[in-house]
Amino acid sequence: MDGTVLVADDDRTIRTVLTQALTRAGCKVHATSSLTTLMRWVGEGKGDVVISDVMMPDGNGLEMLPKIAEDRPGLPVIVISAQNTIMTAIKATEADAYDYLPKPFDLPELMKRTAKALSEKRPLHSASRGEGPRSADTIGEGADELPLVGRTEVMQALYRLVARVMNTDIPLLITGESGTGKSLIARSIHDLSDRRTMPFVRAEAADLSAIDGPAKVLAAARGGTLLLDELTDLSEEAQARVVRMMDAPGDSLPRFIATSQENPAAAMEAGALRQDLYYRISGTELAVPSLRARVDDIPLLCAHFLTRAENEGAPHRRLGDAAREPLRQFAWPGNVRQLENVIRRLALTARSEEIAVEEVEIALGAQSGGEPVVSGGATLSSERLSESVARHLQRYFDLHGDMLPPPGLYGRILKEIETPLIEISLAMTGGNQAKCADLLGINRNTLRKKITDLDIEVTRRRKLM
């Protein structure tokens, strides 16, 4: 490599490692822990590439990007950050960063991207979005509450793709297993895009069944975003109507986003998805990874869910090191949604501030049909559900000492039991609500109401038990 690299990071170890690695690669390096110093160097014309942390003692690195672009058009800035959320990637892209890497970063990967930045000539100030980059204050307020967190490469690749496609008009197809957050990603794309002040409409098969259904849907989503949930669940007639909707003339058409639990190409070959619809909706395909494909994100997700539970009134909890291993080894057929339910229950039922490995194993055993799962491959002795519930409830009361828990305990406990019962029953019946209601022994309308009240996501599969 040949060139001068400016490094800004408040971590002395990172500055040392990057200085040594870049110097060995043939670069000149100026390193600082101050954004003020970095901006002075940029203003003086120093540096061919900038590598900057986000959170610095004297400011936010992302907020400096527009100033760098103004002072030095075309100067590549590689952002590194320990804030491993989709918002960091989105903000970096909005601020026209050359690249973005999460901490802890892979040094060879950072070196490769730095070499690429040094070898390329960037166009002068590539803010081609018309109105230029938006400030961080205007982007997706509240989106940090989304469980779209992770530092694994598959999640970082997802973040970068979301950042690239969110302000385009190209139809988007989001694929992935149940519980991975497909609809959530669709909503976040809308909320972070230039269409965020326009309607977001979620259309299902029933909304398209009537003759005037498509017209009503288009009118409701005018200029905004239209989400077609579980594309392969739509009938042949409904799919044909979607094709006509997408071909309709006009300047106020919504952006079309669809989700699919099934492989759309395989569904098309099997005749479950029209070819013309597939080719129209798959302008960009975004594959959401399963939790099994990113087990290194599980501790980060657990911390996120424990913080959320604490903000909602649960006691402060943290996972011990040993307690993380069975979570990493579990299959997680329900993906992130299932993990959230497990962690939220542990936040309420754990005996002490640090959640023990035995408590995690018992919780996972309940997810596996009653036998507790342990990291060594053995199982703990099973117990009846009523005994387990009684034990966990007694622990919950004990945590409050001489005080009573907050009012509303009955509803909270019933929700903790009802939610996984209905979610697992829906999963085992392939999302068929009639079969699920029959399995549970309740009226279908009752099931529908509970699904709505408990905010349970329903996805359909072709193969039903």
Domain enclosing residue 451, as ranges: 407-465
Based on the fold, state whether residues 121 and 174 are members of the same structural domain.
no
For 346-375, the pLDDT digits (tens) are 998 888 999 999 999 888 877 655 444 544
Mark whether 332 and 378 lie in a shared domain.
yes
- Whether 159 is covered by a domain: the verdict is no
DSSP assignment of 116-135: HHHH----S----SSS-PPP
Q: Which of 114, 138, 162 is the last residue of a domain?
A: 138
**pLDDT at residue 94 in the model:** 67
Residue 401 has a CB neighbour count (10 Å cut-off) of 7
Question: Tell me, what CATH number does 430's domain have?
Answer: 1.10.10.60
Which tokens hold the place of 315?
A: 């006691």
Residue that is last in its domain, among 255, 287, 319:
287
Q: Provide the pLDDT for residue 379.
A: 42
Statement to judge: residues 219 and 114 lie in one domain:
no
Same domain, 380 and 318: yes
Number of residues that this document lists for the chain:
465
Residue bearing tokens 């929700």: 415
Shared-domain flag, residues 336 and 231:
no
Residues 170-222: tens digit of each pLDDT: 999 999 998 888 988 898 888 878 898 999 999 888 888 888 888 899 999 99
Dihedral angle sign, alpha carbons of residues 310, 314, 320, 324: negative
Residues 329 and 240 reside in one and the same domain: no
Residue 154 lies in a domain: no
DSSP code string of 169-182:
-S-EEEE--TTS-H
Rg (CA), the chain: 25
Q: pTM, whole model, 2 decimals?
A: 0.56
**CATH code at 103?**
3.40.50.2300
Which token pair is 3? 């060139």
Question: Could you tell me if residue 15 is inside a domain?
Answer: yes
Q: How many CB atoms lie within 10 A of CB 203?
A: 24
Torsion angles phi and psi, residue 24, rounded to 5: -60, -30
**Quick one: which of 362, 424, 423 has its CA closest to 389?**
362
Q: Residue 208's Cα: distance from chain center in Å? A: 28
CATH of the domain at 348: 1.10.8.60
The DSSP secondary structure of 392-421, one letter per residue, reads HHHHHHHHTTTSPPPS-HHHHHHHHHHHHH
CA distances from 101 to 3, 77, 122 (A): 21, 11, 19
Answer yes or no: is 399 within a domain. Answer: yes
Burial of 175 (0-12, 13-18, 19+ CB in 10 A): buried
Show pLDDT as tens, one digit a residue, over the chain (465 residues).
Answer: 889 999 999 888 889 889 988 998 899 999 999 999 999 999 999 999 999 998 888 888 888 888 898 888 889 999 988 766 666 777 777 677 888 887 777 787 889 889 989 987 544 333 333 333 333 333 333 333 435 677 788 887 888 788 788 888 899 999 999 888 898 889 888 887 889 899 999 988 888 888 888 889 999 999 999 999 889 888 888 899 999 999 988 788 999 999 998 888 888 888 889 999 999 998 889 999 999 999 988 988 998 899 888 888 889 999 988 899 999 888 898 899 899 989 988 998 888 999 999 999 888 877 655 444 544 444 444 456 777 777 777 776 766 666 777 788 888 788 888 888 998 888 888 888 888 998 999 998 899 889 988 888 787 654 433
For residue 143, what is the DSSP state? G
From the list 358, 366, 282, 289, the residue with the least C-alpha distance to 322 is: 358
Domain end among 138, 160, 188: 138
**Domain count within the chain:** 4
The answer as to whether 36 is a domain residue is: yes
Both structure tokens of 230:
């579980």
What's the pLDDT at 400?
Answer: 63
Backbone angles phi, psi at 231, to 5 degrees: -55, -40
Q: What is the pLDDT of residue 121?
A: 53
pLDDT at residue number 232: 87
Separation of alpha carbons 45 and 298, rounded Å:
43
On average, the pLDDT of the chain sits at 82
Residues 176 and 236 in one domain: yes
Q: Any alpha helices (H) in 312-443, and if so which ranges?
A: 321-329, 335-349, 357-367, 385-399, 409-428, 433-440
Q: Which pLDDT score is estimated for 370?
A: 46
Residue 28 domain-assigned (yes or no) = yes
What pLDDT is stored for residue 461 in this prediction?
A: 58
Q: Say what the pLDDT of residue 128 is.
A: 34
Tokens matching residue 46: 């120093």
Instruction: Examine the domain organization and report whether 28 and 118 are in the same domain.
Output: yes
Same domain, yes or no, for 424 and 389? no
Is 164 inside a domain boundary?
no
Q: Are residues 398 and 453 in the same domain?
A: no
d(CA 288, CA 456): 19
**pLDDT of amino acid 383:** 54
pLDDT at 402: 64
State CA 142 to chain mean position distance.
Answer: 14
Residues 193 and 260 placed together within one structural domain of the fold: yes
Pairing of strands 28-32, 4-8: parallel
Q: Please answer whether residues 294 and 154 qualify as being in contact, where contact means their C-beta atoms are separated by less than 8 angstroms.
A: yes
Q: Do 324 and 425 belong to one domain?
A: no
Q: Residue 250: inside a domain, yes or no?
A: yes
CA proximity to 175, closest of 166, 165, 167, 186: 186
Question: What single-letter DSSP state applies at residue 317?
Answer: -
